[in-house]
């Protein structure tokens, strides 16, 4: 009787273990199959690939300094902090630049009592976010240092379309050495013929 009881007890222990093993096998199989199913439609992927930084005409120390500045600027864009972003730019040198700066900061809106007047990150045409970036190159261009950076931008829709547009854009930062360190003299799109090399060109959505 003792042997029969022991066999019965062993059988009762094996049955749940069998169900557990079966459940694990099904779960493992589902885990292996599901990602393959999810990867069937990959036509809409946006790739921002990590690569090494090419340098020309700058020392290693200067490259490190410039890349750190660029990363800090890009982080300010990612935080959508208009005041912090504008602090990276040198002072306007022309009436056109001053007028555009006033528009970006919403000087006209501040005059009529708007509490958050800045148009950057708030109005159509300047409303965007930078979700990721990679510095691609740093080079000496005469008296300036030129930085090429790829940004992954997310732009809310406007008009009838409701949603978001995501795009990798290639930007250039032209840096001037000042008494306060490097400042951005120009920030612009390099891959869009509708844009030109200008001080605040890159502060538009696309």
Residue 61 belongs to domain with CATH number: 3.10.450.50
Q: Is residue 40 part of a domain?
A: no
Mark out the alpha helices in the chain (DSSP H runs): 2-38, 60-79, 82-86, 95-105, 107-111
pLDDT digits (tens, 9 = 90+) for 100-122: 999 999 999 999 999 999 999 99
pLDDT band at 31 (very low <50, low <70, confident <90, very high): very low
Contact status, residue 86 vs residue 200, Cβ threshold 8 Å: no
- How many domains are there within the chain? 1
CA torsion through residues 191, 195, 201, 206, sign = negative
Q: Is residue 17 part of a domain?
A: no
pLDDT band at 68 (very low <50, low <70, confident <90, very high): very high
- pLDDT higher at 128 or 39: 128
Q: Is residue 194 part of a domain?
A: yes
pLDDT digits (tens, 9 = 90+) for 160-202: 667 899 999 999 999 999 998 999 999 999 988 888 889 999 9
How much is the pLDDT for 193? 81
Q: Is residue 25 part of a domain?
A: no
Q: Return d(Cα 107, Cα 118) in angstroms, integer.
A: 8
| Domain span including residue 76 | 54-203
State what percent of residues in the chain have pLDDT above 70.
Answer: 78
How much is the pLDDT for 192? 81
Q: Return d(Cα 103, Cα 109) in angstroms, integer.
A: 9
State what percent of residues in the chain have pLDDT above 90.
Answer: 68
Q: Is residue 32 part of a domain?
A: no
Phi/psi-derived region of residue 118, left when phi > 0, alpha when psi is between -120 and 50, beta in every other case: beta
Contact status, residue 122 vs residue 116, Cβ threshold 8 Å: yes
pLDDT digits (tens, 9 = 90+) for 73-108: 999 999 999 999 999 999 999 999 999 999 999 999
Buried/exposed code over 130-139 (b: 16+ C-beta within 10 A; e: otherwise): beebbbebbb
How much is the pLDDT for 162? 78
How much is the pLDDT for 13? 42
pLDDT digits (tens, 9 = 90+) for 190-199: 988 888 889 9
- Among 6-15, 30-39, 161-170, top mean pLDDT goes to 161-170
């Amino acid at each position: 009787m003792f042997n029969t009881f022991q066999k019965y007890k062993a059988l009762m222990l094996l049955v749940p273990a069998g169900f557990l093993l079966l459940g694990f096998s099904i779960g493992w199989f589902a885990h292996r199959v599901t990602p393959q199913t999810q990867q069937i439609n990959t036509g809409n992927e946006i790739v921002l690939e990590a690569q090494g930084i090419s340098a020309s005409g700058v020392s290693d120390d200067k490259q490190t300094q410039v890349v750190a500045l660029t990363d800090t600027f890009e982080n300010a864009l990612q935080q959508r902090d208009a005041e912090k972003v504008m602090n990276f730019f040198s002072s306007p040198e022309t009436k056109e630049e001053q007028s555009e700066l006033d528009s970006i900061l919403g000087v006209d809106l501040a005059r009529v009592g708007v509490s958050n007047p800045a148009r950057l990150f708030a109005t159509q045409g300047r409303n965007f976010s930078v979700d990721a970036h990679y510095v691609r190159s740093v080079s000496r261009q005469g008296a300036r240092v030129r930085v090429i950076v790829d940004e992954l931008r997310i732009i809310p829709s406007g008009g009838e379309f409701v949603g978001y547009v995501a795009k990798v854009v290639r930007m250039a930062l032209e840096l001037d050495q000042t008494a306060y360190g490097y400042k951005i003299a120009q920030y612009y799109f390099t891959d869009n013929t509708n844009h030109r090399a200008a001080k605040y060109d890159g502060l538009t959505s696309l």
